[in-house]
Structure 1
Amino acid sequence: MATRNPITIEQPATDLLGTRESARVAVFLRTKSSLYSLTHDQVVRNTCTSLDVPYEKSRLIAIQKWPKLDVLVFDIFYDNYDLNTAHHKVDLPVLLVDYGKASSVVRKTSHEFSEIVNVHVATQHNYHGWNAKPPYFEDQAGHNPPKYENPRDATML
């Protein structure tokens, strides 16, 4: 399924995609986007199509629900992903796909933003414990903060 609004891919993002090297994709799926009614898996498929990335080379890792948007994080071309060590931060480059109401943009993020995303992914693996598998879901839209009963690191209890 193609996006219903124009998507602009900035040149640094195109350059990174052209390498076919491991990367993370953070998707800001705004409630006003025409894609908001799709399942998260459909959004990942749509995004892969827009980025010319085979869906089979993606892995949805984390979902955050906020009042005005959902944030999805998925890996592309990350063949070295290991669930047993994924609670350790990696330094993958990050692309931001921002699906808005009228248009959408794909950009390569700053080192600082990439750091935030990579730390978040490692933390989600840690919070959800050894037996849980992605995608990890966090509801930040409600009144109660998420609870993690069985983190990998017991000091987080």
Structure 2
Amino acid sequence: MPLSAVAAAFAIFGSASTAHAAITWDTSILSMRTSIDSDGADAKAEIWERGYSYWENEANFDANGEELRLLDDRQDGQLAIAQVWVYNKSGTLVDTDTFSTGSVDRFNMGTPDGSGDIPEGYEVRINICVGNITCAGTAKGRA
């Protein structure tokens, strides 16, 4: 089955695991209120090879400071890639971005106008992928 068909099926059904080249992937998607930013919500997307007891690739959106922490702990030559979408309070997509790392990095999410601040109440959606192989699914946070 072509990779695009696997990705499309995964996106439609939202499975908690997917297989590719004899690897089965497990995922975790979390959204949690933050005590520091009373209106905000942090988001986390994780993906790891089944059989490992910890995540290998992880994207964390921190509502306090609108920061993205991206981790690649897999050591397989594939980058951890985070896809990010920002929606205004009306639900209109206002920004998209892609971040990648081969280790661990922190990114200021920024905004299209360059102010570096996502307005309060805007929804931030993140997804973590293992290179171009497979993705975890979308976690939702709020600035």
Q: Does TM-score exceed 0.5, indicating one fold?
A: no
Higher relative contact order (CA closer than 8 Å, sequence separation 6+) = 1
* Structure with a larger share of its residues in strand: 2
- What's the TM-score, normalizing by structure 1? 0.28
